Structure 1
Amino acid sequence: MDVGLVFDLRNPRQWQRPWADHYARTLEFCEEADRRGAGGIWFTEHHLFEDGYLPQPLTFAAAAAARTRHVRIGTAVVLPALRKPAQLAEEAAVVDLISGGRLELGLGAGYRVPEYQLFDADFSKRFARTGATIEEVRRLWETGGVTPGPVQQPVPMWGGFYRPRGARLAGRLGIGLMHISHEMFAHYQVGLVEGGHDPESARVADLVPILLADDPEAAWARVTPYLAHQKNTYRSSSVEGTDRPAPPPLGPDDLRVRPLDGSWGHLEILTPEQAAVRIKARIAGLPVRHLIFWADIAGMPDDLVARNIELVSEHLPPLLAKELDVAGTAR
């Protein structure tokens, strides 16, 4: 199981640095993650966010691939329904070639109407288009329909789906499920059977809403404004282009609420020791291959980002391995 970091490159106006500097600094953080032994660096996709949320993750992944040597390079996620299959197949193959075979291709259907309008795509058909594009990308690679092809045969593919329909689609396609949930895993397993795939091939990954710090309480005081921006822009953007009312903004106390069912909250700031225990309970019984932590929260201070990268990359993995080994022995 790899432990990695995800970057969305948000650069909110109230803390904004020059865009070229921001991109250059993020690439330096990617190099740092690679040097410290992180299992993966992942990049996300959204469009039309005022804070400049990364719109083209494969482009940035290519740059990160050229600056690193060992770390896996992933997308979490690319929206295939906004691209032609041949374009996606070629761009992903180029990243895999530049990285020497390190690409993890995470894909999803998205949830924002304006993004589909921007690319003249049909939002109502996004799941069908996503599935068809994934199948066509795979066919193009297998038949040499685009050249050159990727190094990996096949490139690991993941479906970032959080509801039953998407989880079953990931299963039918025979790709990994990028969501840690026992409920969704059951739907994913149904999809694997429906698609004629071996249930033992099931694999899971997810973005983990945990930030690591030496002093979590002190970190909370500094991170709260950035987290409020991140969560409230996600919430308001989710209803754009619909007739649903905008949800009320979350306040500092709301951000710290943890669900009673043990699922992830908005964000937890923990020490590596606390995180290892928390994660063990959350992933029990699931075939997890990648845990992906936020590297940065909406432009938070560089010292917090750097220490988080260090703790995730170097300190957490042995603690997590020990916790999981103890759990396995106990069973």
Structure 2
Amino acid sequence: MTTFVTRYDFRVPGGDAATRQEVYARSLEQAAYVDAHGHDAIMLSEHHASDDGYVPSPMLVASAMAAVTTRVPITIAALLVNLHDPLRLAEDIAVLDHLAAGRVGFTFGLGYREVEYALFDRPWRTRGRDIEERITTMLDAWATGRVTPRPFSDPHPFLLYGGGTPAAARRAARLGLSFQPQHGDPALEEEYVAACRELGREPGLVITAPPGPANVFCAERPEEFWERWGHHLLADATAYQSWHGDAASHVLDSSTTVEEMQAAGVYLVCTADDLVERIRSREVRLVTNHPACGGLPAEPSWASLRLVTETVMPAVRA
């Protein structure tokens, strides 16, 4: 069955305060909309020191979205644990867990931008050891009642550890967490399972994204969408690439022009009928909506989301 996810990072390149506030307000309206129409998840992320305003406080957004939804799971992937005080983070997660009645899950991660560590005066060289210590502190704090309240979920919300290296897989095993390997690398899953077995632990869930486009948009006239709005998608892709350098980003798109992006297919723009066929043929197994991608305005944002929700989803779930 195809999974339908809606994600937000709140990049608004060059946006003024009013434009940015509209994107935030729209995200809450759209969260309520996807909740009412049966989407499978809302995904948020965390980054800091970003000129385009990438959201630094996803837990605040998750709290606001939890208040306007009743059923859709919300996931924060990734939460950059080393940039937070572990006891305060444990408290905040517990409170959010109560507000959302257990609907918010978390993927813990190191992050990959040294500038973020510098912003908070956190050591870069020891980041692997530090995150393990911080997560252990949080788990112990929940288990012992050192912080209150205890989470709504027993013993804590759904937690994964995310990363793209064998060290990350082994760390997830040591911490007793489920694992989210980057880029769907099967070798990392094998490393995780083996490490769990060596420790005498039953492996948790391993969650990987299936092959396919990183972001999906629907339009009645895809060529016109690319012509009018493609620069927003390009801004999103190039911003990630500037952060990763030669390393592959989560979007895996090194395009430098809108035309290159259109040909690459990592950001897919198609008609509703085309998307239905791609889903039925199993070419697309995960539909990740990105309604505010690169500061995408309200008109194409809502049009795409409604086509996916009101045309594609009923067709493939009938």
1:225 aligns with 2:228: no
The SS at the match of 1:160 is strand
Of 211, 215, 220, which residue of structure 2 is paired with 1:210?
Answer: 215
Aligned to 1:267: 267
User: What pairs up with 1:73-222 in 2 under 5 angstroms?
Assistant: 73-153=74-154, 154-173=156-175, 174-177=177-180, 179=182, 180-199=184-203, 201-206=204-209, 209-215=214-220, 216-222=222-228
Q: Following TM superposition, by how much is the alpha carbon of 1:86 offset from its aligned partner in structure 2, in angstroms?
A: 0.7
C-alpha separation in 2, matches of 1:44 and 1:234: 13
CA deviation vs aligned residue, 1:183-202 (integer Å, no higher than 9, x gap): 43233323333443224x33
1:255 aligns with 2:264: no
* Greater displacement, 172-181 / 48-57: 172-181
Return 5+ residue gaps in structure 2 as ranges. 246-253
TM-score (norm 2): 0.82
Aligned to 1:47: 48
C-alpha separation in 1, matches of 2:187 and 2:317: 25
CA deviation vs aligned residue, 1:306-327 (integer Å, no higher than 9, x gap): 24434555655666679xxxxx
- 8 Å CA contact 1:77–1:160 kept in 2: the answer is yes
The one-letter code sitting in structure 2 at the alignment partner of 1:92 is I
CA deviation vs aligned residue, 1:118-171 (integer Å, no higher than 9, x gap): 111111222222222222222211221211121111311122323333233234
Q: Does the C-alpha gap of structure 1 residues 190 and 274 become closer, same or farther in structure 2, counting only changes over 3 Å?
A: farther
Return 5+ residue gaps in structure 1 as ranges. 240-247, 259-264, 284-289, 323-331
C-alpha separation in 2, matches of 1:308 and 1:165: 39
* Greater displacement, 211-220 / 128-137: 211-220
User: Cα RMSD over matched residues?
Assistant: 2.9
Q: Does the C-alpha gap of structure 1 residues 214 and 184 become closer, same or farther in structure 2, counting only changes over 3 Å?
A: farther
User: What pairs up with 1:268-287 in 2 under 5 angstroms?
Assistant: 268-270=268-270, 271-276=274-279, 280=282
Q: Following TM superposition, by how much is the alpha carbon of 1:277 offset from its aligned partner in structure 2, in angstroms?
A: 5.1
- Paired-residue identity, %: 27
CA deviation vs aligned residue, 1:253-296 (integer Å, no higher than 9, x gap): 432454xxxxxx64223443245257x4687xxxxxx9754333
Q: Following TM superposition, by how much is the alpha carbon of 1:230 offset from its aligned partner in structure 2, in angstroms?
A: 1.0
Count of equivalent residues: 300
The one-letter code sitting in structure 1 at the alignment partner of 2:12 is N
User: What pairs up with 1:7-46 in 2 under 5 angstroms?
Assistant: 7-13=8-14, 17-46=18-47
Q: Following TM superposition, by how much is the alpha carbon of 1:94 offset from its aligned partner in structure 2, in angstroms?
A: 1.2
The one-letter code sitting in structure 2 at the alignment partner of 1:20 is Q
Aligned to 1:287: none
- 8 Å CA contact 1:172–1:194 kept in 2: the answer is no
C-alpha separation in 1, matches of 2:287 and 2:161: 15
TM-score (norm 1): 0.79
C-alpha separation in 1, matches of 2:89 and 2:144: 15
